[in-house]
Structure 1
Amino acid sequence: MALGDDEFVEIVNGLNETKNLRNWGLVIDGTQIALQEHSLESGQRVRVHLGKGEKNETDLFLNSAVELNDIAGNVTLKDDTGENVASLEYKVQPDGSTTYTMTAEGFFEYPKSNG
């Protein structure tokens, strides 16, 4: 997940099968946004950007006006049946660090930072 000008959520397929994200959705602080058709192979990750851009193998762009709250929020991934696959709750601490609480039913994970 990244906050700021280029907001995105990263989805990682940790299963041993390919998943198609068609008819899946993200719920961001109560607002549902449909995902585009995109095959996610086992071990593959895709960044789902809320803003505008050109789709490629590693990035989807939703062209949405929805924004991530820069202080705290919740993002839920729903599958094509409407079931919650995973949720991520985040909160920026007074020192500028961000804490995360994740519930995963499938293959949604917070990527490790490089710093």
Structure 2
Amino acid sequence: MPTAALAAEIAELAEPGDERAIRVLEAAAREVTPLALTSGVAHLRRAMELALPATPRRMRLAARLVPLLWETGEPEEARTLAREVVRTPPDAVTHAQMPGTGPDGQPVPGAPGRGASAPCPAPP
């Protein structure tokens, strides 16, 4: 059964936090978005509804959904969702990948990476 067809059925039956349903909806969105943008948006919206609030999973889905909302002419929803993404602190895994920040997400003075003023290397 094609992912998009399965997604329609799963979307109706899934409960919040159902990771399998979220994965199917996300895959269906990737599959249909190039051909049917509004269907892709619908799948991602439903996946977000199922993702638990303020989780890394929800924020990744939101980040994928924002540009699609702009493309479908829904700038207010895109702005609101973008604000939510920006205001949500990164999870521990994401934070660990951001050099130059402390546990609170703030720049560490003198640390190389994000927020530091390390000199750029000279070109060869």
Identify the structure with the greater helix proportion: 2
Structure showing greater Rg: 2
Structure-2-length-normalised TM-score: 0.25
Identify the structure with the greater strand proportion: 1
Structure-1-length-normalised TM-score: 0.26
